[in-house]
Amino acid sequence: MAMSIRDRVLGLFSGQEVDRVACYSGMGNVTTAGLAEYGYKFPSIHGDPGKMANMAASSYRLFGFECAVVPFDMCVEAEALGCAMNAYEDVNQLLYPTIKEKIIHSNDEMTRITIPGDIHERGRFPVVLEALRLLKNDVGNEVPIGSWFLGPFTMAGQLMDLNDLFKLCFKKPDQVNSMLDILSDLIIAMVPRYRAAGADYIVIREMGAPTDVLSPRTFRQVIKPHLEKIFRSIPSPKILHICGDTNLIIGQMNDVGAEAVSVETKNDLVKSRETIGIEPLLFGNVDAYNILVNGTPEAVGEAVLRSLAGGVDAVWPACDIWPEAPLANLKAMVETTQKYGASNWARKTRADQ
Amino acid sequence: MTPEREQELLKKLADAVVNYDEDMAREGANEAIAEGMEPRKAIFDGLVVGMQECGRLYEIQEYFVPELLMCADAMYAGLDLLRPLLQKDDSKPRGQVVMGVVQGDVHDIGKNIVKMMFDAAGFTVHDLGRDVPLEKFVEEQIKTDSEIVALSAMMTTTMLGMRSIIKMIRERNPKAKIMIGGAPVSEQIASMFGADGYAKDATNALKDAIAMISSLKDM
Ligand code: B12
């Protein structure tokens, strides 16, 4: 009998033998095809738990993606802390929500930040929690339910001016570190609630910290300690994702205590394997825009094979799937993984020898 | 001032920028002023030379975004003292640029680096920030009579907004030069959208802008 999707995805973390590489994600994967199926407008799905859950499940239903993940935008944590969000209700193109009002404007406000005890009732946390519950009931027996948080540094970038944050990493590293420590507590407080609501696995996305932006040295000083604390404190399965260039920091990413590391297309997987070796779980890195949206199904197939050749243990899009990706491409991603996910799985072929 | 002292001061200004030392940049600028160095020289052979070195260090991944931002602050600290003393003729900016990240897009790290290079080269930059409504670019260009409009977008949908901006600017002021950039943008897209230029990074953006300004002056 074929293995269930849930066992395939979750078994990998618990050390079970699984039949092949899975094709899923820990990041957003809403599609315009899903939106059309339900007649939803993109801005409306971020604040409505039913719509959010339906969109997350639609990727499983429409192209066999082996997961269901909420939320889709990066404003949830910042809103719960008091920021105002813009969903671009009146704009015709597909735009992702952004923070329009930040809450930290001075050093003083930075040191005064606290996590309210009822944080789970603030902003859209109740929406996400409800969406997780709905998903659990809807597709929770078939696919694993995933969710994610921004890493503390990326979260801080939503709360205050990013340029100031960058400079303060050098000028006032202690203040920055104590703020990031507090923001880490938000994640540590919320993960168990997400889990209780139905999330099977959690991803921490520290998108603001690739070497396109920060040096490996700064990563060591202001990013790594907080990720270590978070991963020490949250339950398994737990995954770290960073977009952009990560080859220079892949060793550190592998060291923070996540059970798997996910990387973007800019990461050279072969080099990463040279650095971290063959043992750690590495996920990635099908280009979520240039290939999944602009490529042909053949190009998608090739990209999946490249990721497998690079030694991934799960085929993940490199970031949120860009919603306009055509269904034919998304199906090609899943089908190529189904077809080659056992024969081309480096971990498996090594073990069989 | 002896040639040795001049070299020493210029080096101090450049080093202050490279070492992102705002106090040293101010000190160097004040010494240059007190000892009668041409402000123009102090800026372009001192501070700007330092900023160019920072750009090089960034390209070889020795410096990263925070370092660059701090170098720019040191440069601005020196510029604030020196700029007001420029002779009338020298104080004319090289050109004016309206710059921003288009609506729906918060990715402004790249745009800020481009802005820095333009500042260093003596342009006046009207920075509209990020998530800028499309019409705002048109209004600001008209208001400031800037020669160049520089648009940045890091996502595909927001990139499409550039097309509308270009169209609106062309209708209102066909003379303005428009350059676009950001990760999803390419040479091809630039010509498809009818932009005058595209550059893949800040250094090339600056080169293009300087060429655009000279072409306008030739007209
Ligand atoms: C850091 C980052 C963020 C930060 C941004 C912080 C900030 N204030 O800028 C945060 C975490 C906030 C973020 C948010 C999101 N992000 Co983001 N992010 C990135 C990341 C990792 C790096 C971008 C970066 O800063 N690079 C470094 C700078 C220095 O490079 P640069 O911007 O390219 O700039 C250079 C050149 O392009 C050029 N240039 C830039 N502008 C201009 C202008 C002109 C005129 C010229 C000539 C040249 C020029 O010169 C610059 C210097 O050399 C990229 C990944 C990647 N591979 O690029 C994703 C990426 C851009 N993000 C992406 C996405 C999807 C998002 C979100 C929508 C996610 C979500 N679910 O909400 C949100 C955006 C919400 C919104 N509506 O805006 C996608 C975009 C996909 C697409 N369709 O194209 C990317 C590509 C990730 C991916 N692989 O899919 N992100």
Q: Write out A74-142 in H/E/C secondary structure.
A: CCHHHHHCCCEEECCCCCCCCCCCEEEECCECCHHHHHHCCCCCCHHHCCCHHHHHHHHHHHHHHHCCC
Nearest CA to A288 among A59, A19, A5, A57? A59
Interface ipTM > 0.85: yes
Given this model, what pLDDT does residue B90 score? Answer: 66
Instruction: Give the nearest chain B residue to A91 (CA atoms).
Output: B104
Q: Are residues B177 and B125 in the same domain?
A: yes
Torsion of CA A204, A281, A25, A2, to 10 degrees: -140
Per-residue pLDDT of B71-99, as tens digits, reads 999 999 999 999 888 876 666 778 999 99
Given this model, what pLDDT does residue B120 score? Answer: 86
| Interface residue B153 vs chain A (CB under 8 A) | no
Q: Are residues B80 and B116 in the same domain?
A: no
**Position B108 pLDDT exceeds 70:** yes
| Interface residue A98 vs chain B (CB under 8 A) | yes
Question: Where is average pLDDT lowest: B81-85, B175-179, B210-214?
Answer: B210-214
Given this model, what pLDDT does residue A182 score? Answer: 97
Q: Which CATH class is domain A5-352?
A: alpha beta
How far apart are alpha carbons A223 and A252 in whole angstroms? Answer: 10
Residue ending a domain, among B89, B106, B122, is: B89
Contact state of A324 with B156 under an 8 Å Cβ cutoff = yes
Section B197-213 average pLDDT:
89
Domain, as residue range, for B178: 96-218
Contact list in A for residue B108 (CB cut-off 8 A) is: 162
Given this model, what pLDDT does residue B113 score? Answer: 93
* Residue found by looking up tokens 């498996």 in the block: A348
Given this model, what pLDDT does residue A65 score? Answer: 98
- Per the structure block, which two tokens stand in for A178? 């104590």
Cβ–Cβ < 8 Å for A242, A249: yes
Global pTM value: 0.95
**Position B18 pLDDT exceeds 70:** yes
Per residue of chain A (353 residues), give pLDDT as tens.
579 999 999 999 999 999 999 999 999 999 999 999 999 999 999 999 999 999 999 999 999 999 999 999 999 999 999 999 999 998 878 899 999 999 999 999 998 999 999 999 999 999 999 999 999 999 999 999 999 999 999 999 999 999 999 999 999 999 999 999 999 999 999 999 999 999 999 999 999 899 999 999 999 999 999 999 999 999 999 999 999 999 999 999 999 999 999 999 999 999 999 999 999 999 999 999 999 999 999 999 999 999 999 999 999 999 999 999 999 999 999 999 999 999 999 998 887 76
Cβ–Cβ < 8 Å for A139, A57: yes
CATH of the domain at B13: 1.10.1240.10
CATH of the domain at B133: 3.40.50.280
Q: Where are the domains of chain A?
A: 5-352
Q: Are residues B49 and B144 in the same domain?
A: no
Q: What is the DSSP string of B154-207?
A: SSHHHHHHHHHHHHHHHHH-TT-EEEEESTT--HHHHHHHT-SEE-SSHHHHHH
Interface test with B, best of A86, A150, A162 (most B CBs within 10 A): A162
How far apart are alpha carbons A166 and B130 in whole angstroms? Answer: 17
